[in-house]
A and B are shown apart, each in its own frame.
Chain A
């Protein structure tokens, strides 16, 4: 855990420091202290100040928020479905968000509302899809977890088909749709953090209260109940928190894959399966990974930017496969 904390801090400092202009961690600390009225204004150029506060800092902090949200949602869903292949996309959240965003882009609402319309529509689409999938999987008072999984896959496939049709008819806007689908943390501001931040913080806090039940649920619903878990309530809470986290993340950053799937799976190999250790570890590792991936995305082929979703997959997939092959602790699917 100490190692993870150090890596997290190092990633933050690197993420802020590196870019077209080098901003030393020392300058960053002094500028932040000045903003917080803890010190006088340091002798740093105005350009540096603007780059730090308008570009670097919001971007890095947004990566932290989104990384934490995706990784936490992944942990919740993997625990809920008792399946290491579950990720935030599995209950249709990502595709729902994408559909919401695309609807706005195509109808032109996005440009009128200067981007905020896309974010709000993505959020609404994500939550609406999660709710639909949840309703489909609910039989009487109980949620069948296997049905939930299948309903999520089916609804996601349906939405993907609709999106393909919309995109083939989209003409001019296809590039901005494509850009959105690839996911990215660029061109984001403090405002998007003000919307997503509280939602993500709330989701993470709720998740932190579920660690005991998450452990019990890995043994199956009946055993969890025998050991004192309120299973139906847990399923609702975990699903709602996971959907909220994923929706908030997708609405500000588009679809960024692999973080939610990989982070919990990978950390389980390191700190074990006990969620009381796993969730804090995931909360450090998810942001670390996304900050570094975003750093790579914006510095690799300067001045052009790579889509961060592609970077997470390029970095993530081989490492994931390596761990899978090494198989020190065998994972059953």
Chain B
């Protein structure tokens, strides 16, 4: 077992039909933000589901802080892995605070109203994601971006060493994207969390991640620093786009610039799906 708070060992998984991801080896160390990039259907969300104990691998093993989450009760596993799903709309009208407070469920009994520590953690999580002012608002009255940040607060309140994010920046406006990415970096750097996040925006991935895994057809096709992974060749191979990769004048990280696909460009063939 290689070191890391989250480790995939030769994981193959699917939903009953043909396998969606094949022989994935992946690891995320504590204090590290690792990105998953790849086109639609490349298996990114499947990997998040495998890591979050929602989809047992057909083959291979997953380790979370050295434990097999599928061998643990849901409650114990939820103390180790927190997930931020793409969207969340409760069936009934909970307030933002009540939703965030549910993040403490794995740590307390069903009837526990929460210790002062629980409340402090939830309040802090809501301040961190900038939704403290929305505490008493019904969740369904919030905008998509506000709801998104309430859900992030819920996951932060879970206080797990491994954090999984499924496209954390969708629905967010530019300022909140930057704030959220700063929060994610801070959680890793100061909080020692191991963060695995799906990014559709490659520039966001490049500016945030320590390492990136590029997926295509359910396999890892590249792995390494943003500079190593986000190359002209790889973008052509994985996304089938002609792109320029330049240093970002503000961050110095790689920046992907693309024009519209069209005539006169040598459109590379994407790697066939299996």
Q: Is B174 among interface residues, defined by CB-CB distance under 8 A? A: no
Q: In the complex the two chains form, is A219's CB within 8 Å of B74's CB?
A: no
Cβ-defined partner of B110 (8 Å) among A212, A222, A223: A212
Contacts of B91 in A (CB 8 A): 82-84, 218-219, 332
Verify A219–B102 contact, CB threshold 8 A: yes
**A331 proximity list for chain B (CB < 8 A):** 92-93
Q: Is A216 an interface position by the 8 A CB rule?
A: yes
Give the distance in Å from the alpha carbon of A84 to the alpha carbon of B106 in the complex: 26
Chain B residues, Cβ within 8 Å of A332: 89, 91, 140
The interface bits of chain B over 73-94 (1 if a CB of A lies within 8 angstroms of the residue's CB, else 0) are: 1111111011101001111111
**How far does the alpha carbon of A219 sit from the alpha carbon of B89 in the complex, in Å?**
6
Chain B interface residue count: which class? 35 or more
In the bound complex, CA of A287 to CA of B95 (Å): 28
Residue numbers in A under 8 Å from B53 (CB-CB): 225-226
* Best-surrounded residue of B73, B82, B102, B109 (most CB of chain A within 10 A): B102
| B138-180 interface with A by 8 A CB criterion | 138, 140, 154, 158
How many CB-defined contacts (below 8 Å) exist between A and B? Answer: 92
CB pair B138–A274 under 8 Å, yes or no, is no
**CB atoms of A227 and B103 under 8 A apart:** yes
Given A209-B110, A211-B111, also A273-B85 (CB < 8 A): no
Expressed in whole angstroms, the minimum distance between the Cβ of A192 and any Cβ of chain B is 32
Is A272 among interface residues, defined by CB-CB distance under 8 A?
yes
Majority secondary structure of chain A interface residues (helix, strand, loop or mixed): loop
- How many Å lie between the Cα of A134 and that of B3 in the bound state? 45
Q: Is the CB of A228 within 8 A of B106?
A: yes
Question: Is the CB–CB distance between B106 and A227 below 8 Å?
Answer: yes
Interface centre among B53, B89, B110, B113 (most CB of A within 10 A): B110
B58 within 8 A of A: no
Residues of B contacting A273 with CB < 8 Å? 90, 92-94, 98
Interface string of A266-291 (1 = CB under 8 A from B): 00100011101000000000000000
Task: Find chain B residues with CB under 8 A from A276 CB.
Answer: 110-111, 113
Given the contacts A227-B106, A228-B78, A219 and B98 also touching, CB distance less than 8 Å: no
Chain A contact patch, size range? 20 to 34
Q: Given the complex of chains A and B, what is the CA–CA distance between A213 and B110 in angstroms? A: 7
B179 to chain A, nearest CB (A): 24
Interface presence of B23 (CB below 8 A): no
Nearest A residue to B76, CB-CB: A228
Question: Which residues in chain B, 24-81, are within 8 Å of chain A measured between CB atoms?
Answer: 52-54, 73-79, 81
In angstroms, Cα B158 to Cα A222, docked, is 16
Judge whether B79 and A228 touch: CB under 8 Å. yes
Tell me which of A212, A219, A225 contacts B88 (CB under 8 A). Answer: A219
Interface: A229 (CB within 8 A) = yes
Known pairs A273-B98, A274-B98, A332-B91; A223 contacts B75 (CB<8 A)? no
In the bound complex, how far is the Cα of B15 from the Cα of A222, in angstroms? 15
User: In the complex the two chains form, is B103's CB within 8 Å of A329's CB?
Assistant: no
In the bound complex, CA of A276 to CA of B98 (Å): 11
What residues on A are CB-neighbors of B106 within 8 Å? 227-228
How many Å from the CB of A230 to the closest CB on chain B?
5
Once the chains are docked, how many angstroms separate the CA of A282 from the CA of B127? 34
Q: Which residues from chain A contact B54 at a C-beta distance below 8 Å?
A: 222, 225-226
Q: Which B residues are CB-close (under 8 A) to A228?
A: 74-79, 105-106
In the docked arrangement, what's the CA distance between A90 and B142, Å?
Answer: 32
Interface status of A195 (Cβ within 8 A of chain B): no
B80: min CB distance to chain A, Å: 10
Cα-based distance from A225 to B78 in the complex (angstroms)? 8
Complexed CA–CA distance, A73 and B261 (Å): 57
> Which of B81, B82, B102 is in CB contact (< 8 Å) with A215?
B102
Determine how close the nearest CB of chain B comes to the CB of A146; give it in whole angstroms.
13
Closest B residue to A212 using CB positions: B110
Q: A147 interface residue, CB < 8 Å from B?
A: no
- Chain B residues at the A interface, C-beta cutoff of 8 Å: 52-54, 73-79, 81-83, 85, 88-95, 98-99, 102-103, 105-106, 109-111, 113, 138, 140, 154, 158
Shortest beta-carbon contacts, A-B, top 8: A212-B110, A228-B78, A228-B106, A82-B91, A273-B92, A228-B75, A329-B93, A218-B90
26 interchain pairs, CB-CB under 8 A: A209-B110, A210-B110, A211-B110, A211-B111, A212-B110, A213-B110, A215-B105, A218-B91, A218-B92, A219-B91, A222-B54, A222-B85, A225-B74, A226-B54, A226-B78, A226-B82, A227-B103, A227-B105, A227-B106, A229-B75, A268-B93, A272-B94, A273-B93, A273-B98, A276-B113, A332-B91
